[in-house]
Amino acid sequence: MSSTPPSITQRMTALYSDHHGWLFAWLRKKLGCPHEAADLAQDTFMRILNSRDALLQMQEPRAYLTTTAKHLLLNQARRRAIEEAYLAGVMALGEQYAPSAEQVRAAVEALEQISLVLQGLAHKPRQAFLMRYLDGMAHAEIAAQLQVSTKMVQKYLVQALLHCHAALAEPAKVAG
């Protein structure tokens, strides 16, 4: 009698039924809100379902679920910080510029994508990139701010652009 390995659906069903209650309780305690905990638990299982290789190779389900949920929490916190910074900037402009909800969403998504792409970059190249392309500063201004030469600013910008190109060439890496 040969035994066939369980299918993806069977593995996911077992993982969900065995650990959903535990994960939800853990997230509820951590977040203090049952609605956010339920959403994040669902997102955690969806992330695992979308990464079928992880489901097939999983050795310690609770450790994997916890790590995945923590990554989603960090992504959520990063997105909120970006959104708050963008909205603060819009508020500073006053009534002369009142973007629509769609424009706000698009801007926040673009800023979040930039943030994800720049994550693995060293501090000074990242700062030089942001000063140049978001703040519109000249190379000399950036050099003064970072206390380096303009030649070093050019190197930082090249390094940042190469990093962005490499990160965008690997979409899975950027997706989190």
Average pLDDT over residues 69-87: 83
pTM: 0.57
Query: In this structure, are residues 20 and 43 in contact, taking their beta carbons and an 8 Å threshold?
Result: no
Distances in Å between the Cα of 172 and the Cα atoms of 11, 46, 54, 156, 168 are: 23, 16, 14, 25, 9
| Per-residue pLDDT at 169 exceeds 80 | no
pLDDT score of 92 = 76
The two three-digit tokens of residue 158, written as one number: 């090249």
Residue from 51, 28, 52 nearest 41 by CA: 28
Number of other CB atoms surrounding residue 140 within 10 Å? 11
| Per-residue pLDDT at 46 exceeds 60 | yes
The string of pLDDT tens digits covering residues 4-35 is 667 778 888 999 999 999 999 999 999 999 99
The two three-digit tokens of residue 26, written as one number: 């853990």
Start-to-end CA span in the chain (Å): 42
The two three-digit tokens of residue 159, written as one number: 């390094």
